[in-house]
Amino acid sequence: MLGVAWQVLLAGIAGAGDAIVINDSAPVAQKPWDFCRTFDQGALYSDPAAPVLQSFSVIGHYQGQFVAADSNHGAETLWENRRWRAGFKTAFCQHWEFFTQASLRTDFDHSAPFLKDFDEISLKWEPSKDFYLILGKQKAKITNEWAESARFIRTFERSLLVNQLMISKLGGLVAGWRPSDKVWLEGGLYGGALTEELLLPSRHGGLAASARAGWNVSRTTAMRVDSFLSDQNPDSNAVSPYACLVSWNTESRFGPWGLMTDVMAGVGGDERAHPDVFGLVLLPSYQMTDRLQAVFRYQYANAGGAEGLNLQKRYERPTVDDGAALRGDNYHAFYLGMNYRLCQDKLKLLAGLEYATMGGHADYQGWTVMSGIRMYY
């Protein structure tokens, strides 16, 4: 009954005054029950032909994981409610889409607000399949791993250098253009600061810009070049400490095989605290069955200074409990994982093992074992 009520209410809005006729005498074909359809129930209304409101969906996702990490400096075992987000999206007037989602508290601290911050909030105008504008707080999609939503990434965590280079989601205006079926271009202008509460875009900061270009090399491979520039204004609390970020990346599909590659660099930071850094990521995957996926990742990072790299916040730093250094100048890591996709990426179980080393001041060697669940609707 609740679903019918929603459809009647939203259909009235979408029809902008048109009469609603319900023919309850028509036979309805009953589909067999499918558990995975549970994750589609957030789509409360959909009518692509409606003149005002085309769709309205409640969205959200949760990620939780168990971690056991051990290194030559200590060990750590924990369960983390990694992400919990909720929001909604709606399409209207044929060419417009509004999207918002908030991060919810995962520590269940009753003394703190349940709503932690706004992860994204944006308005998109897409008058044709070849052009779009997006205004609001959004992700500057630099590097393959950062550009891909956390709902779909194949490993538990993104690679070390991606996490070190990347910026927060920023308030800005992004424009995209597709001049042909094989080429697309995108550029953005952003503010570099966010408010301390709710992490909303703030006018108290400098400016930043992004430029991206993609090319469908073949039916199996796409290539992209991403860049991001910031003016390093001291009031910009949400941008990378590097003045310039650049990434050359590819994504390929060969039947059940997949391959993501990324070569990236960050330059123009403080020479002592943030010297120039360079790295690469190789991430092959293999779809063993309709549900079972095997994933491997190799990552390498190098810094131009003795303390240019920082051990991963998750979950390498917590194992260093003997006062040893957390920073070094070169890093290698090898990840092997299995993903059981019960309902594609809408519900999946993950297990992974990673071995990492860092040279320089941080003489680090460590293993991390992870298992967890991810779901979204």
Listed by start position, the domains of the chain span 2-21+38-376
* Cβ–Cβ < 8 Å for 165, 250: no
* Cβ–Cβ < 8 Å for 101, 115: no
* E strand map for 129-242: 131-138, 170-177, 183-194, 201-216, 221-230
Here the tokens at position 367 are 């293993």
Give the number of C-alpha atoms closer than 13 A to the C-alpha of residue 293, restricted to the C-beta side.
26
d(CA 261, CA 68): 28
* Cβ–Cβ < 8 Å for 314, 150: no
CATH code assigned to 2-21+38-376: 2.40.160.10
pLDDT value of position 34: 87
Distances (CA, A) of 183 to 178, 179, 188, 219, 225: 6, 6, 17, 13, 12
pTM of this structure: 0.89
* Type of residue at 22: I
**pLDDT tens by residue, the chain, 377 residues:** 444 444 544 444 444 444 444 444 555 556 677 899 999 989 999 999 999 999 999 999 999 999 999 999 999 999 999 999 999 999 999 999 999 999 999 887 777 888 999 999 999 999 999 999 999 999 999 999 999 999 999 999 999 999 999 989 999 999 999 999 999 999 999 999 999 999 999 999 999 999 999 999 999 999 999 999 999 999 999 999 999 999 999 999 999 999 999 999 999 988 888 999 999 999 999 999 999 999 999 999 999 999 999 999 999 999 999 999 999 999 999 999 999 999 999 999 999 999 999 999 999 999 999 999 999 99
Here the tokens at position 25 are 């005498």
d(CA 291, CA 284): 17
The DSSP bridge partners found for residue 354 are 335, 368
Containing 164, the helix (H) or strand (E) segment is helix 160-165
Radius of gyration of the chain (CA): 23
φ/ψ (deg, to 5) at 374: -135, 140
Nearest to 293 by CA among 152, 158, 160: 152
d(CA 309, CA 330): 7
The DSSP bridge partners found for residue 145 are none
Q: Exposed, middle or buried: residue 207 (CB in 10 Å: 0-12, 13-18, 19+)?
A: middle
Dihedral sign for Cα atoms in the order 149, 155, 156, 158 = negative
Cβ of 184: how many Cβ atoms within 10 Å?
18
Q: Exposed, middle or buried: residue 45 (CB in 10 Å: 0-12, 13-18, 19+)?
A: buried
d(CA 357, CA 311): 9
Nearest to 66 by CA among 374, 375, 377, 286: 374
Strand 244-254 and strand 257-267: the pairing is: antiparallel
Cβ of 368: how many Cβ atoms within 10 Å?
24
